[in-house]
Structure 1
Amino acid sequence: MSLKVIFLMGLVALASADSVPSYHAPAPSYNAPAPAGPAQYNFNYAVKDDYSGNDFGHQEGRNGYDTQGSYYVQLPDGRLQKVDYAVNGDSGYLAEVSYQGEAQYPQYQPTQGYQPAPKVGYA
């Protein structure tokens, strides 16, 4: 009986070795919803941290192929940089950059260099 089982297993292994393996892409695990129409949204955010000096934000609105928005950031030199932009269909990204304030470059004041700690009680 065991000889028949071994023979049958060998025959199955031989038959499967002759077949050419084939790859089939897995089916998606979910059905993504189709877009109901052109994109339409509005969003904005702003961060102002007086402790670290961070001040930045962004707002954007889109209705179909017409997108308009702006963003701003506080630069290290003290100015506020603002970018207003628009995209309409295939027109590309059209931006207008502006600055508020004057650049400040304070004179460099070097600090005292490293001083090693004094030796205490070690010979």
Structure 2
Amino acid sequence: MAFKFIALFALVAATSAGYAPLAYSVHHGQPLVYASAPVVTKIVEEPYNANPQYSYNYGVSDALTGDNKSQQETRDGDKVTGSYSLVDSDGTKRTVDYTADDVNGFNAVVRKEPAAVVVKSAPVVHAAPVVHAAPVAHVYAAAPAAHVYAAAPVAHQYVQTVHHY
């Protein structure tokens, strides 16, 4: 019976194969090009500031994460001065003072300060409380145990050896 189904499916596949195209056609067409209208651009020049100036500073002190840092910077014309500091992982504080100008370029001075010494106060020691002597307890010796002596039963059994020659 299974052979009949296989033969039937093979016959259906062979007859429907005639409807499949032998080659696929490819159509290449010119894509439509949409061009937007040209945008009118007008270049507006910013006014030149011959003596730019700014100043800022910030600081972070987060006891939860241990993040401690600060920075400040000032610009007056072409000269920039500033500094920043942070606490390194070893506990030392690193401070960088820098300047930048047209004549000397960028210069920085790095300083490391030791970690702040934490002085722990000695713990308060209280006097030990006075201990009174415990009352003397009278100890009574136990009565001696009665010893019972009994002889162990003796059983003798003799087995005679049988010799076979």
TM range (shorter): 0.5 to 0.7
Offset of residue 26 of structure 1: 6.4
Q: Partner residue of 1:80?
A: 93
| Aligned residue pairs, count | 81
Give the letter for the 1:100 counterpart.
Answer: E
For residue 61 of structure 1, the aligned residue among 70, 74, 78 is: 74
Residues 25 and 98 (structure 1), Cα distance of their counterparts in 2 relative to 1, 3 Å cut: farther
The farther-off stretch of 76-85 and 35-44 is: 35-44
Q: Secondary structure at the match of 2:105?
A: coil
Residues 25 and 96 (structure 1), Cα distance of their counterparts in 2 relative to 1, 3 Å cut: farther
Give the distance between the partners of 2:92 and 2:76, measured in 1 at CA.
32
Offset of residue 25 of structure 1: 8.5
Give the letter for the 2:51 counterpart.
Answer: P
Give the distance between the partners of 1:86 and 1:94, measured in 2 at CA.
5
CA RMSD across the alignment? 2.8
Offset of residue 66 of structure 1: 1.3
Greater relative contact order (CA < 8 Å, ≥ 6 in sequence): 1
1:97 aligns with 2:113: no
- How many percent identity over aligned positions? 28
Q: Which runs of 5+ in 1 are unaligned?
A: 1-23, 103-123
Query: Aligned ranges for residues 1-123 of structure 1 at < 5 Å?
Result: 27=41, 31=44, 33-102=46-115
User: What's the TM-score, normalizing by structure 1?
Assistant: 0.56
User: What's the TM-score, normalizing by structure 2?
Assistant: 0.43
